[in-house]
Amino acid sequence: MSYVKGLKCRECGRTYPKTPQFVCEWCFGPLEVVYDYEEIKKNFTRKALENRAPNM
Ligand SMILES: [Zn+2]
């Protein structure tokens, strides 16, 4: 999975590089995964066009 950009704290918005960590060091808020949406779009749009019309 190379689509993961890093992690982002839901509470303070601080971002982290890809790391096996689930809690923010600063506020102990939950970290959520940030995906590289540009990269996902690039790869999936082509496939979606081949199979079906993208519904976005
Ligand atoms: Zn935080």
**Per-residue pLDDT tens over the stretch 6-56:** 999 999 999 999 988 899 999 999 999 999 999 999 888 877 777 766 566
pTM of the complete model = 0.66
pLDDT score, position 49: 72
**How much distance in Å is there from the Cα of 43 to the middle of ligand 1?**
31
Residue with tokens 């590289």, as numbered in its chain: 36
Question: Is there a contact between 55 and 32 (Cβ–Cβ < 8 Å)?
Answer: no
User: Is the confidence at residue 1, as pLDDT, over 70?
Assistant: no
- In the prediction, which pLDDT does 51 show? 74
> What pLDDT, on the 0 to 100 scale, is given for residue 9?
97
Q: Domains in the chain: how many in total?
A: 1
Q: Which residues neighbour 10 within 8 Å (Cβ) at sequence distance 6 or greater? A: 29, 30, 31, 32
Range of the domain at 31: 4-51
Which residues in 29-42 are b (16+ Cβ under 10 Å) and which e?
Answer: bebeeeeeeeeeee
**Cβ–Cβ under 8 Å, residues 15 and 27:** no
Question: Could you list which residues have their CB under 5 Å from ion ligand 1?
Answer: 9, 11-12, 14, 24, 26-27, 29
Q: State residue 56's pLDDT score.
A: 61
56 inside domain = no
> Residue 13 domain-assigned?
yes
